[in-house]
Structure 1
Amino acid sequence: MPRKGRVKKEGPESGEDTDEYRKRRDRNNLAVKRSRVKSKQKTIETVNRVNELRNENSVLEEKVKSLTKELSFLKELFLAHASNTVDSSKYQGVDLQKLLDDSTAGSSGGNIK
């Protein structure tokens, strides 16, 4: 199906052999090359950024695992201390298990009965 708009002329009168036509074609070819190089560079940059983010994500996931493990250890340590302390009156009225429950780890403050 032919394109709408310009009708391509055939034969010597089409202007395909003129200097002006050749200059336009050369400029267009250069523009296409620049566009393709720019597109390729953008793709490479995107791939590199994705790899950087994946690496950063892995590091952060390891850090979360480590901190979660440390938090669990500290909770156990605190519970052991709270249950073995001589002056347990400090913890009267405090639901230690609820305070240390993982589901409330993100909340601020303590839960006092």
Structure 2
Amino acid sequence: MHQQNQQLLDALAACVAACEHCATACLQEDHVKMMAACIALDRDCADICALTARFLARGSAHAQHLMRECAEICRLCGDECSQHQHEHCQACAAACRRCEEACRQAMAA
């Protein structure tokens, strides 16, 4: 597999894991209602990253379309998570930003 594709697949997998962990951890917070937007974006982000990875791995002609949407949702999720001081939110925001950048670089290549 092409090195750039592997780097993107790694970023996508890391983002899925970070988002899933963040959503689960947010559900354990004392004020879970305040975390509703974060949880929703975590779930959306994890799903689009997983789908993008599958399309990319099989060489789908539609992977480019998904990368664009993936970058957008990663940006939104990163913005939301960065507003919260929880360690899991900060780690998720960082993973989202790395994944967004990897998607944008892959689209530009």
TM-score bracket relative to the smaller structure: 0.3 to 0.5
Kindly indicate whether structure 1 or structure 2 has the higher relative contact order, using CA contacts under 8 Å at least 6 residues apart.
2
TM-score normalised by L of structure 1: 0.38
TM-score normalised by L of structure 2: 0.39
Larger Rg: 1
